Structure formats: C-alpha cells, structure tokens
Amino acid sequence: MAKRLMFDVVVQKDETGGYVAFVPSLPGCHTQGETLEELMKNVEEAIELYLETLDEEEKSEVLKMAQSVVGLQKVEVHT
C-alpha cells in the first residue's frame, strides 16, 4: 500500500491570471495551471515525479525537510 505524504505548497497568481506553485521542501519542484483545480492536479503530479527521481536515502532526507516549513509571513519594506 502506498504511503500518503503531505507537502506545503506555495501558490501565487501569475501575470496572465493563471497560477504558479512551488514546493519549498523540494528544490526545483514547481508547476503552473490556468485554474486552481488544474494547478493542484499539476502540483500533485510534479511532486510524484520529483519523488520518483530520488533514491531511498535522498527521499528520507527530503521527508525530514518536508516537516520543517513553519509558515508564510508578509514583510513590509519601505522603498
């Protein structure tokens, strides 16, 4: 039976009105979609494909990092 894993995903609206997402604990794992529904299907597939490229030791290390995301903060700066 396959193990279910949870990953934090950052979602942003892009300049065309679509969406982009990246997975902070998986460097280079990102995708896009025209709708949020499409984006979420694409990000799930992107994560699965990313994990398929890892050997067991790398996967173990990634899973440790997946638990380390604390949150998302907004920071105001004056320009």
Taking only the tens place, the pLDDT of each residue in 18-61 is 999 999 889 899 999 999 999 999 999 999 999 999 999 988 88
What does the pLDDT average to over 54-76? 80
Q: What pLDDT, on a 0 to 100 scale, did the predictor assign at position 69?
A: 65
Q: How far apart are CA 47 and CA 60, in angstroms?
A: 15
Q: Give me the domain span that covers residue 46.
A: 10-62
C-alpha distances in angstroms, 3 versus 6, 48, 63?
A: 10, 12, 12
Find the CATH number of the domain harbouring 15: 3.30.160.250
Q: How far apart are CA 46 and CA 7, in angstroms?
A: 12
The number of distinct structural domains making up the chain is 1
* 22 domain-assigned: yes
Q: How far apart are CA 56 and CA 75, in angstroms?
A: 37
* 45 domain-assigned: yes
Q: What pLDDT, on a 0 to 100 scale, did the predictor assign at position 60?
A: 84
* 5 domain-assigned: no
Cα-to-chain-centroid distance, residue 56: 20
* 76 domain-assigned: no
* 4 domain-assigned: no
Q: What pLDDT, on a 0 to 100 scale, did the predictor assign at position 68?
A: 64
Q: What pLDDT, on a 0 to 100 scale, did the predictor assign at position 62?
A: 81
